[in-house]
Amino acid sequence: MKFETRCVHTGVEKDSAYNSCITPIYPTSTFYWDDLTTNRGYDYTRSGNPTRRGLEENLAALEGGVDCRAVCTGMAAITASMFLFKPGDHIIAGNDIYGGTYRLFSDVFTNQGYKFSFVNMRDPAQVEAAITPETKAIWIETPSNPLLNIVDIEAVTKIAHANNLISIADNTFLSPYLQRPLEKGVDIVIHSTTKYLNGHSDVVGGAVITKKEDHQERVSYIVNAMGLGCSPFDAWLVLRGVKTLGPRMEAHQRGAMALARMLDEHPKVQKVYYPGLESHPQHELAKSQQDGFGAMLSFDVAEDRAFAEKVFKNLKLFQLAESLGGVESLIEYPETMSHASMTAEARREAGISDRTIRVSVGIESPEDLVADMRNALDA
């Protein structure tokens, strides 16, 4: 089946009693057994649930993995993947990743004895140079959050495979509609299903999708043992949202491209970060490994933070909020919001300044979004 068809039909047929066309919600905590050794495939919702299983089958099919585990948040998905390793292990990550991921790595897991190196992952040579005898994994985030830097997935996974390392990619920004890292050599894909997969800003969730059976067995054990699984209702919401993933992403992209082109020409904008622009230094790389450029973009205003604050206040359609991937357009200030958990030094090293603004472009009329942003900048 083609991608859009898999979005609609995979993970649906769970109702043998009434032939529901939509995956039912099974809000039970407990399933009774037929006898001491036999059940119907489920015993306790922490360990497994038919609604959650439907979502897992769907996402595994969309990413091309052997299986998936749906969890309660995007951060829970990252946490589950980190438990593939142990104290003393070394992991290489980009220096421009999402602030919450950076905090989890640099604070929580570092305090547990894990070791991390944050490098410019646009340069595969820096990735290779960071490898030590203790290195066990490479964490890939592409496009990066918030500056939309592109990592050459095939180049980095080639390094990982040559050194017997696990490669893990956060594919939240593009969704499997626009990028499928497993096809490029990645071992494990992470999602915050809160974002584009759900697409309606009414649920939080995450997913871990694997290409290898041994990784999946370990992830399944971790998710069950730590109680990380998402609720049946949340799984149902994401399943509902993912059915329209294809057409939503096309609408998102139309608005993002129109907005990026306007910003690129506006005198009050110093720089636009959007791989869809021909001026983006990694435009060709993005074209080669993505099926589109997505709906996330950032830009630096030409003046100071006070001017950025005025832009926020003058917007009518863009809501000031940290999340992304919903049908509504959101705008945020990484310095005090999404990347506040990074140190100022780490933000500057990543290229985030007090002039940087991040935008999640929704599915509203591109003309309306462009007009609203232009008016805010002009005002």
What CATH number is associated with residue 203? 3.40.640.10
- For residues 235 and 258, membership in a common domain is answered with no
CA distance 75 to 257: 29
- For residues 309 and 363, membership in a common domain is answered with yes
- For residues 227 and 123, membership in a common domain is answered with yes
Position 323 confidence tier, pLDDT thresholds 50, 70, 90: very high
Domain end among 242, 267, 282 = 242
- Residue pair 369/255 in contact by the 8 Å Cβ criterion: yes
188-214 b/e with 16+ CB inside 10 Å = b?
bbbbbbbbbbbbbbebbbbbbbbbeee
- Residue pair 96/151 in contact by the 8 Å Cβ criterion: no
Q: Catalytic: which of 170, 187, 234, 372?
A: 170
- For residues 156 and 279, membership in a common domain is answered with no
Opening angle at CA 193, ends 63 and 141, nearest 5: 65
User: Is 170 part of the annotated catalytic residue set?
Assistant: yes
Q: How far is CA 206 from CA 72, 78, 92, 150, in A?
A: 6, 8, 22, 22
Q: Read off the tokens for 62.
A: 């969309």
Backbone angles phi, psi at 223, to 5 degrees: -60, -40
Q: Residue 315 belongs to what domain range?
A: 246-378
User: Is 98 part of the annotated catalytic residue set?
Assistant: yes
Q: Catalytic: which of 53, 180, 195, 211?
A: 195
Question: Which pLDDT does position 306 carry in this prediction?
Answer: 94
Average pLDDT value for residue range 287-311: 96
CA distance 119 to 111: 20
Q: Catalytic: which of 14, 15, 46, 264?
A: 46
- For residues 98 and 184, membership in a common domain is answered with yes
What percent of the chain has a predicted confidence (pLDDT) above 70? 100
| pTM score of the predicted model | 0.96
- For residues 236 and 251, membership in a common domain is answered with no
- For residues 127 and 169, membership in a common domain is answered with yes
Cross-strand partners of 73: none
pLDDT surpassing 90 at residue 15: no
Question: Which pLDDT does position 13 carry in this prediction?
Answer: 86
pLDDT surpassing 90 at residue 16: no
Instruction: Indicate the number of domains in the chain.
Output: 2
**Residue (of 1, 38, 3) closest to 245 by Cα position:** 3
pLDDT in tens, 109-164: 999 999 999 999 999 999 999 999 999 999 999 999 999 999 999 999 999 999 99
Q: Read off the tokens for 148.
A: 């939309």
Domain end among 190, 209, 242 = 242
- For residues 105 and 189, membership in a common domain is answered with yes
Q: Read off the tokens for 193.
A: 């299903």
Omega prior to 146 cis, within 30 of 0: yes
Position 62 confidence tier, pLDDT thresholds 50, 70, 90: very high
- For residues 238 and 256, membership in a common domain is answered with no
What percent of the chain has a predicted confidence (pLDDT) above 90? 98
**Residue (of 361, 296, 357, 372) closest to 143 by Cα position:** 296
- For residues 215 and 171, membership in a common domain is answered with yes
User: Is 195 part of the annotated catalytic residue set?
Assistant: yes
- For residues 312 and 250, membership in a common domain is answered with yes
224-258 b/e with 16+ CB inside 10 Å = b?
eeeebbbbbebbbbbbbbbbbbbebbebbbbbbbb
What CATH number is associated with residue 296? 3.90.1150.10
pLDDT surpassing 90 at residue 44: yes
User: Is 46 part of the annotated catalytic residue set?
Assistant: yes
- For residues 132 and 269, membership in a common domain is answered with no
Q: Catalytic: which of 26, 98, 196, 274?
A: 98
Domain end among 219, 242, 265 = 242
